[in-house]
Amino acid sequence: MVSCCRDVKKKILKMSRWQSGAFSRATLDTGTLLEETWQAFRTQQIQFDLVILDHTYGKDQVGSDHLSANEVVEHACRLRTNGALKPNGRVFATHIAHEGNPPHPELAAVAKQHGYEVAYDGLILII
């Protein structure tokens, strides 16, 4: 297990990686990832099968303690282009606020256009 923790504006950014055979995953309930976290993904050649990002704020909202829609798009894109997501890896958004985000079907359609998926209550993933 590799774990990085850093105090960020009195909040803890936690990134953990668990490996069991070929499966690795990251769950993030944070603000924007620090550049040193992205660098750790590269230098340690970390590749995830599954990444779950919080998607608290909508497109026209500014994220601070959680990610906005625009930041989720940026993170999903960067995970793919930097090789931190395996070729068949998936990115899911969760922790979605009611204000600022469209209803699930609309948000899911937007997410699909940007290379990620939107989680929902009762979702079961088989990895």
pLDDT tens for each residue of 50-60? 999 988 888 87
Q: In the structure, what pLDDT confidence band is assigned to residue 26 with cuts at 50, 70 and 90?
A: low
Mean pLDDT of the chain: 79
Residue 77 has pLDDT above 50, yes or no: yes
* Mean per-residue pLDDT, 22-33: 63
Q: In the structure, what pLDDT confidence band is assigned to residue 28 with cuts at 50, 70 and 90?
A: low
The full DSSP string for 75-122 is: HHHHHHHTT-EEEEEEEEEE---SSSS--HHHHHHHHHHTT-EE--TT
pTM confidence score: 0.76
Closest CA to 41 of 7, 9, 86, 92: 86
| Residue 12, pLDDT score | 25
Domains and CATH numbers, the chain: 2-118 (3.60.15.10)
